[in-house]
């Protein structure tokens, strides 16, 4: 772990904790490393979602009714 890492406490379901410990042993990594990587991945996915929303912010809004009408007109439903 990096010197600037912060310690925290998390509470896990006992079976989830057992599975996580077994995974850590299997892949020769610490539980901390696995949890940290999972959190980084989740935050990265959130950042991608936010960027996608920002890219589409100027697109015109369309109502559900209008979308259904378009799909029907195009023969997609």
Specify burial of residue 34 (Cβ count, 10 A radius: 0-12, 13-18, 19+): middle
Q: What is the mean pLDDT of residues 67-76?
A: 97
- For 6-60, give the DSSP string: --------HHHHHHHHHHHHHTT--HHHHHHHHHHHHHHHHHHHHHHHHHTTTSP
Average pLDDT of the chain to the nearest whole number: 95
Average confidence (pLDDT) over 38-51? 97
The whole-number pLDDT of residue 2 equals 62
- Say if residue 46's pLDDT is above 80: yes
Measured CA angle at 9 (ends 7, 10), to 5 deg: 130
């Amino acid at each position: 772990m990096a010197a600037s890492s912060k310690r925290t406490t998390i509470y896990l379901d006992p079976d989830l904790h057992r599975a996580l410990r077994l995974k850590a042993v299997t892949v020769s990594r610490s539980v901390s490393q696995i949890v940290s990587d999972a959190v980084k991945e989740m935050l990265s996915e959130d950042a991608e979602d936010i960027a996608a929303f920002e890219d589409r912010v100027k697109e015109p809004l369309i109502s559900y009714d209008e979308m259904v009408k378009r799909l029907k007109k195009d023969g997609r439903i």
